[in-house]
Amino acid sequence: MSKLERNWQYAEQYPGETEALVRARRLSLELGIEPVSRSVGAQLSGSTVLARAQAICEVGTGVGVSGLSLLRYASEATLTSIEIEAEHLREARGVFSDAGIAAARLRLIEGDARHVMPRMNLAAYDLVLIDAEPAQLLEHFENALGIVRPGGCIIVPGAFAHGRVPDPAARDEDVQAMRDLLALVAESPAIAPILSPAGDGLLTLVRLDGDAPGTPNPPRR
Ligand SMILES: C[S@@+](CC[C@H](N)C(=O)[O-])C[C@H]1O[C@@H](n2cnc3c(N)ncnc32)[C@H](O)[C@@H]1O
């Protein structure tokens, strides 16, 4: 194992998940839904505090590993989480309930985020997590940019697509979508991008004031 792999493994095994998170992660893996990794979960938990997040939106609930992580230290925050698969959402409801998350803090929406997000309030969210279909990433990002407030952030796990994004030989649709997003935000005066090697690559995009190049429409009011 290389030094980098040892570092990565150490970060992923660093303890600290709650019992509810451990159970949710186990359930997610049993159902074949890839949850955010432990180190990414920890970064989500800390990011909500750093962003003073009160209103959080998530695309791709899964069974709730990322959702529990987002709400872990943000006791006043509410989570709007969008999931296209009814079965995943049903499991997630059980996970949030078992973890003691009050129903008033949750808005779980069954639907395609590409149709749901354009109907949400503009600049109303402190933090938006995108963890859904990689090929739809740019569409989700454009919608997320509309609903996140200036100073808030958009977080995208899976930025390396299991090592394929840094691999020049990989050219599939998912990889190309991630590369397009990375290129777009690297050039944008409206976004401060942070790419971390946590998990499968974690991209944090802080929305600055102003419009981002590539944004099809200015934020709606
Ligand atoms: C990688 S899993 C999410 C895992 C979850 N974030 C976690 O850490 O527990 C991706 C989820 O996105 C959902 N999904 C895919 N496309 C979607 C879309 N267009 N709108 C809403 N959800 C979508 C899938 O059904 C799946 O549950």
Query: Each residue of 78-117: pLDDT tens digit?
Result: 999 999 999 999 999 999 999 999 999 999 999 999 999 9
CA-nearest residue, atom 2 of ligand 1: 62
Q: What is the mean pLDDT of residues 121-148?
A: 98
Beta bridge partners of 80: 57, 107
Length of the chain: 221
On the question of pLDDT at 221 being above 60, the answer is: no
- Across the chain, what does the average pLDDT equal? 94
Cβ(114)–Cβ(139) under 8 Å?
A: yes
Query: Which range (124-128, 157-161, 216-220) has the least confidence?
Result: 216-220
Tokens of 100: 């003691």
pLDDT of residue 210: 66
CA distance 185 to 195: 11
131 vs 221, higher pLDDT: 131
Tokens of 53: 């997040």
**Nearest Cα to 55, choosing from 72, 73, 75, 80?**
80
CA distance 207 to 189: 10
On the question of pLDDT at 215 being above 70, the answer is: no
pLDDT of residue 15: 83
| Interval between CA 116 and ligand 1 midpoint (Å) | 14
ipTM value greater than 0.95: yes
| Interval between CA 56 and ligand 1 midpoint (Å) | 16
- What pLDDT band is residue 219 in, cutting at 50, 70 and 90? very low
Query: Each residue of 174-187: pLDDT tens digit?
Result: 999 999 999 999 99
CA angle 63, 64, 65 (to 5 degrees): 110
CA-nearest residue, atom 7 of ligand 1: 35
Atom of ligand 1 nearest to the CA of 92: 9
Atom of ligand 1 nearest to the CA of 113: 20
Atom of ligand 1 nearest to the CA of 114: 19
The separation between the first and the last C-alpha atoms of the chain, rounded to the nearest angstrom, is 52
- Domain 3-207, CATH class in plain words: alpha beta
CA-nearest residue, atom 19 of ligand 1: 112
CA 152 to chain centroid, in Å, comes to 13
Atom of ligand 1 nearest to the CA of 28: 9
Query: Each residue of 22-76: pLDDT tens digit?
Result: 999 999 999 999 999 999 999 999 999 999 999 999 999 999 999 999 999 999 9
What pTM did the predictor assign? 0.94
Alpha carbon of 72 to those of 47, 62, 167: distances in Å? 11, 17, 35
